Structure 1
């Protein structure tokens, strides 16, 4: 099957390409990797290339059947209606917004350009429609940073607040959602659904800890593994990586190794963080994801990012990168952070530094660019404003 790049990253160009790839005869569309072309396995709808938060590129081959299975499973869980595209169309979350809209026989509403609260609210409220006198439910997908920006704006803009309340559900994925942000969203009347998944699972396939219909979850050696009809075919041109990431068990079931730690309690999945995002401090393994979760529970630090740093005494330590505070308060904030992290994770996990910067660099997906942050911290933490 032929693979061709979308005409551009513009959502409308991606929409046209996906309409042909998912509802028509193709060709398959290359997203995020404009240099990709050639032949892909039959039935492929999209090849999604992302660098990820660690800077390691991957081109994930996703079939038409996997995208459709994911979209229908989402509709079965949260309902069907109109969708607003507010995340990049070239990322899997954006792809799924488009596919869900196409399968519901509706054009998705689109918010283009840099994400801002006012255009988002205008697009959301402009979606209002009725069929046979009944309101058509609306949905959108966001990353936590977008949700937080909307909540900040809603405090002084009634139109943004109304837009947040207008959705039947707002899917939040890409990274963990701080409990304080979720509480703010609920207080504002927004209906939040936390999603877990990746390009390798055609997007989110576990909603609020519960797998979508047909999706299997297993914990093997502490690692979360996922199975079901939404799994991608593998990595383009990389059979060894594909075989490692998508093993089959003795019964012939194919699984995706997420690289995340987790546990299942009473049928609900709790993801504890990346298994490779661990430092050894004084001989003790410390999960930086657990540290970050604890820090983000502190009011005002909901968007903090924790990165590893060398430590002359303990081998490795961590630094907390924050925005919205004056650099003169770094020591004061560090004291509060160390107290909270020590109580929640343990004394060896307490960060060594708090670094205030103007703005956390992000990937186009909206996730923090951790690779860039590690470089900034390693180079002496220069302020991006300089």
Structure 2
């Protein structure tokens, strides 16, 4: 059994044969675009709130610059753009409790917002970046597959796991066709102890798909039914309460790679890696490096891997040829050895070997502790 390791500080490199559709670990600069529709009469409140945000974000590590723009056709429409050294520091900032608190005043003066994130691939002049020495251009565009991957995670009260699993497994699937351009492809729901993870795959507009699902009667009914079991209170009838809950529950996809080999009977599994405090992004980067390095190996049982990360919660969704129990341990776990697992996660580890003195035995133990329980996995027809 062999593994390939890359120093965690290096940007990911990629072979053209990898079918990689997504990664935040390229080391290139990030452009964030926020489209804002401000209520009539709320312009001054919006400007005052934005000024407070701007003065704070200037001191956030990784932030380079920011612009506020107003539409020349419709003065109620505003555009906020910011540039960052790379994606990870932005993701750390936007998922922080401080960010949740600071943007709260904005929601009383804006009708709608839409956030878009882009790696910088080409530009007319790199003079500013060269002068600041911050960030690089992305070496080459990644190859996408037209699917957007996103997840939500939350915890339920201990002792309620069985009741919650039954509720989440037994509801009618929403209509997959959202509109002419957006379609739900797959929803996979897993549990690990009292943590719930729901991963979705969408073709088209992710925000439109999320709104579509939230409006479905069968989905609203099950969401209301699990409310009493949630550790974090929410009131779906209160837009602000719902917004804060789903903001905190968001678990973004930070890396996705597929080996480019089709296997109709591949099994979907999810692994939960509770990171040590402050190690979530390092752990996600290491998992991404291992998956990307293994993507061209025809012996690799992992045909597809998506890594989701927020703070110290890291989840890896994998499609495995032949099933997880029969898979090679290192590529299935996605970690090079038990020592790195002990360094970066709170997964229970022993002395580095099982009773028989086997490194494989320790990896098998780690894999079993990381493995999540499947609640439901639903695919839309022709997805």
TM-score interval, smaller chain = under 0.3
Q: Which has the higher contact order (CA 8 A, sep 6+)?
A: 2
When normalised by structure 1's length, the TM-score is 0.27
